């Protein structure tokens, strides 16, 4: 039987408009602030950025795990996540999340498998499973080598 896994982070407000969040799994803390629109500072992560980053990184690692399990090789994977916050009667809430994925494969014969991998990743991504809203997924599978950054 598989055991569950526990993850732990601690956040605290440090001073002014900034805070720090630290994970048991990483040596470096992340400094965060409220979004600039809510009085925070530019140049720091916000809780909203961290939330969208969790979605993007979870989807990316899920794709990698599924590709490894299925033997699908890809040359590049880029995951962009965009969320829109809307005012509600009790504050702000994410009203929509869009995940834009560009997967680059080396062989045309793997094209359908690439789309299946992305669809499967959306089904089993652990962060997706906890969201109250269902993100939309825009997928592109290309053949070739990744463009230089």
The CATH number assigned to the domain holding 26 equals: 2.20.25
Report the pLDDT averaged over residues 40-62.
95
Instruction: Give strand pairing partners of 103.
Output: 77, 141
* Domain span at 67: 47-143
> How confident is the model at residue 130, as a pLDDT?
87
In a domain, 149, yes or no: no
Give percent above pLDDT 90 in the chain. Answer: 68
Shared-domain flag, residues 32 and 71: no
> How confident is the model at residue 129, as a pLDDT?
86
Weakest mean pLDDT among 31-35, 54-58, 98-102, 140-144: 140-144
Shared-domain flag, residues 54 and 34: no
Examine the pLDDT at 136 and tell me if it is beyond 80. no
Residue 67 structure tokens: 């590709």
Shared-domain flag, residues 62 and 36: no
Instruction: Give strand pairing partners of 18.
Output: 15, 33
Instruction: Tell me if 102 sits within 8 A of 64, measured CB to CB.
Output: no
In a domain, 148, yes or no: no
Unique residue bearing structure tokens 């070739």: 144
Each residue of 102-122: pLDDT tens digit? 999 989 999 999 999 999 999
pTM of this prediction? 0.85
Residue 27 burial by Cβ neighbours in a 10 Å radius (0-12, 13-18, 19+): exposed
Shared-domain flag, residues 88 and 113: yes
């Amino acid at each position: 039987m598989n055991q569950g896994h526990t993850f732990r982070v601690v956040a605290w407000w440090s001073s002014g408009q900034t805070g720090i969040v630290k994970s048991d799994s990483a040596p470096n803390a992340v400094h965060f602030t409220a979004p600039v629109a809510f009085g925070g500072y530019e140049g720091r992560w916000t809780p909203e950025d961290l939330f969208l980053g969790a979605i993007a990184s979870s989807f990316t690692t899920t794709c990698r795990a599924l590709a490894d399990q299925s033997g699908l090789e890809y040359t590049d994977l880029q995951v962009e996540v965009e969320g829109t916050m809307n005012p509600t009667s009790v504050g702000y809430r994410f009203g929509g999340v869009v995940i834009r994925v560009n997967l680059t494969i080396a062989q045309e014969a793997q094209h359908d498998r690439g789309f299946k991998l992305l669809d499967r990743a959306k089904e089993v991504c652990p962060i997706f499973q906890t969201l109250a809203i269902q993100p939309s997924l825009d997928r592109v599978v290309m053949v070739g080598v990744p463009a230089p950054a």
